[in-house]
């Protein structure tokens, strides 16, 4: 399946407090409401801009550093973020993204500008910048993570196999 959307670009070290602030995440587990606050520390309009047509969140290195809050990938999914593309990811966020079914791609995001239209086919391993007319290579997910993502996340994996079947 090919995902197609615009790039919304951010810098390095985007931490999970910026993805969803503690003052919002401790209040409830209603993700629809919480998603309206996604990325608001860095761009208060993020939800309004991304929700209608979807978008790719494009960042620099160490995306998702800090807290273990799974609300971070969940509010990105809730705001219609199709995938996160970054030069590197913090460890816990990366696992949480896969577990909740948010695609994450490690690639050279310097090649992408804010507003570029991107096409991503995870199965085929293709990322194409339509605006610039270039293909951007990225390494495949480790097999364990690819399987979890293919199953639709860790909950679905457990339901399907009755436990870990990796």
Partner 1 sequence: MLVRDSVRRRRGQRRDLGRVSDIAGKTIAEKIFSAHAGTDAHAGDIVIADVDFVMGQDGTSPLAIKALEAMGVEKVFDPKKVAVVIDHSSPSPLEGVSALHTIMRDFGKRTGAKVYDVGCGVCHQLIPENGHVVPGDLMVGCDSHTCTYGALNVFSTGVGSTDGAAAMAAGKLWFKVPETIKVTLTGKLPEGAFSKDMILLVAGKLGADGATYKAIEFGGPAIDALSVDARMTMSNMAIEVGAKAGLMLADAKTLAWYEGRGERTPSPVAPDADAIYVAEHTWDVSELTPQIAKPHSVDNVSPIAEVAGTPIQQGYLGTCTNGRLEDLAIAAFILNGRKVHEDVRFIVAPASRQIYLDAIAEGYISTLVEAGAAVVTPGCGPCVGTHNGVPSDGENVISTANRNFKGRMGNSNAFVYLGSPATVAASVIEGAITDPRKYFEE
Residues 62-101 that bind partner 1 (CB under 8 A): 62, 65-71, 74, 88, 90-92, 95-96, 99-100
Q: How many residues bind partner 1 (CB under 8 A)?
A: 41
Distance between CA atoms of residues 141 and 161, nearest Å = 21
Residue closer to partner 1, measured from CB, 17 or 119? 17
Distance between CA atoms of residues 33 and 106, nearest Å = 29
The distance of closest approach from Cβ of residue 16 to partner 1 in the complex, given in angstroms and rounded to an integer, is: 8
Q: What share of the chain is helix, strand, coil (3-state, %, to 5)?
A: 35, 20, 45
Residues paired with residue 118 on neighbouring β-strands, in sequence order = 5, 129
161 binds partner 1 (CB under 8 A): no
Residue closer to partner 1, measured from CB, 144 or 150? 144
The distance of closest approach from Cβ of residue 130 to partner 1 in the complex, given in angstroms and rounded to an integer, is: 30
Residues paired with residue 86 on neighbouring β-strands, in sequence order = 106
Among 130, 134, 150, 166, binds partner 1 (CB under 8 A): 166
The number of angstroms, rounded, from the C-alpha of 137 to the middle of its chain's C-alpha atoms is: 18
Distance between CA atoms of residues 54 and 67, nearest Å = 25
**Quick one: DSSP state of residue 25?**
H
The distance of closest approach from Cβ of residue 135 to partner 1 in the complex, given in angstroms and rounded to an integer, is: 27
Closest of 111, 116, 53, 115 to residue 86, by C-alpha: 111
Residues 125-154 that bind partner 1 (CB under 8 A): 142, 144, 153-154
28 binds partner 1 (CB under 8 A): yes
Q: Which residue ranges make up the site for partner 1 (CB under 8 A)?
A: 13, 15, 17-18, 21-23, 25-29, 41, 61-62, 65-71, 74, 88, 90-92, 95-96, 99-100, 142, 144, 153-155, 158-159, 163-164, 166
């Amino acid at each position: 399946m090919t995902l197609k959307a615009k790039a919304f670009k951010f810098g390095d070290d985007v931490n999970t407090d910026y993805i969803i602030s503690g003052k919002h995440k401790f209040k409830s587990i209603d993700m629809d409401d919480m998603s309206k606050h996604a990325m608001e520390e860095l761009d208060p309009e993020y939800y309004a801009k991304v929700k209608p047509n979807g978008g790719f969140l494009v960042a620099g290195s160490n995306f998702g550093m800090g807290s273990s809050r799974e609300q971070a990938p969940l509010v990105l999914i809730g705001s219609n973020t199709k995938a996160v593309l970054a030069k590197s990811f913090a460890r816990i966020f990366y696992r949480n993204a896969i577990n909740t079914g948010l695609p994450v791609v490690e690639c050279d995001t310097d090649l992408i500008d804010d507003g570029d239209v991107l096409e991503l086919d995870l199965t085929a391993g293709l990322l194409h910048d339509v605006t610039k007319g270039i293909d951007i290579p990225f390494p495949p997910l480790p097999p364990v993570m690819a399987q979890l993502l293919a199953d639709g996340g860790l909950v679905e994996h457990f339901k399907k196999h009755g436990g870990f079947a990796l």
